[in-house]
Structure 1
Amino acid sequence: MNRFYEPGRKKFVAKLSVAALTSGKSIGCDFAFDGRVFLIPMKDGKPTTEATGTIELLVELGGVKEAIQFGTVNLAKLNPPTYEKPRWGGSADSLYAKASEGAVLEGFDELKLIIERF
C-alpha cells in the first residue's frame, strides 16, 4: 500500500487482485473519521471499462463491520461522471472490500482503490 499525505486530507492507494476481492480484504487506515473511495478497475496495469461484477465495501471499527453509503458497487457502472463514490461519516479502523455473494468478477485483474480520509 502506498501512502500520500496532503494538507487537510490523507489518502491511501491500494490495489486488490480479483483473488483478494473474492476472499475479502481489509485495508488498514491509521486515522479516523469521514472518507470516500474512488474505484478504478485495472487490466494489465491500465484502467479498463470492461469490468463486471458487484463488490461490497464496508468500514470496520473494533472488529465490527458496517455498510457504507453507496458501498455496493456494480463495477460495470463505474465510469459515468455522475457515479456516486462510496463514503462514510464517522470513525473507522479499516476499509473492507469483497465480492458480493455469488458475484462473478470479470474483465479486470485488479481493482485500484483510492481512499481519502478527512
Structure 2
Amino acid sequence: MKALGGWRARCALCGEPLGPAEALASKYACLATCTPITKALHLHARHKAYVVEAERVAPPITYSFLGLCSVTLALFLASHHLLATLSLALALTVLAYGTYVRLRLLARHKARAYK
C-alpha cells in the first residue's frame, strides 16, 4: 500500500509492508497500548514481546505527559504564568524521556526481529 509521497509504510521492527495506521502503531507504541486508536494486529501477531513491554512502559509516560499538559493549560488560563511555565518545562522533560524510552524499546526489539 502506498502512503504519502509514494513511500511504502513499513513495520518499524521487521520492515514488512503495512497500512499507514499499522506502521505508525509499530513506531509509536502508545497508539496501540495507551490510546488504542488502531488495533495493531501485526504487532500482536508478530511482535508480542514488544507489545507486552510497551504496555508496561508506555502508559505512565503517556498519561504523565497528558496530565502535565492539562495542568499547564489550566494554569495558563488562570493567569499563573510562572507556574504554567514550570509545568510546561516538566511536561517537555517527560516528553523527552518518553522519546528516549521509545527509541530504546524500538532498537532492542528491532535487533530481535532481525535475528
Sort the TM-score into its range (normalised by shorter chain).
Answer: under 0.3
TM-score computed with the length of structure 1 as normaliser? 0.26
Quick one: higher RCO (CA 8 Å, sep 6+), 1 or 2? 1
TM-score computed with the length of structure 2 as normaliser? 0.26
Bigger radius of gyration among the two: 2
More strand by share: 1
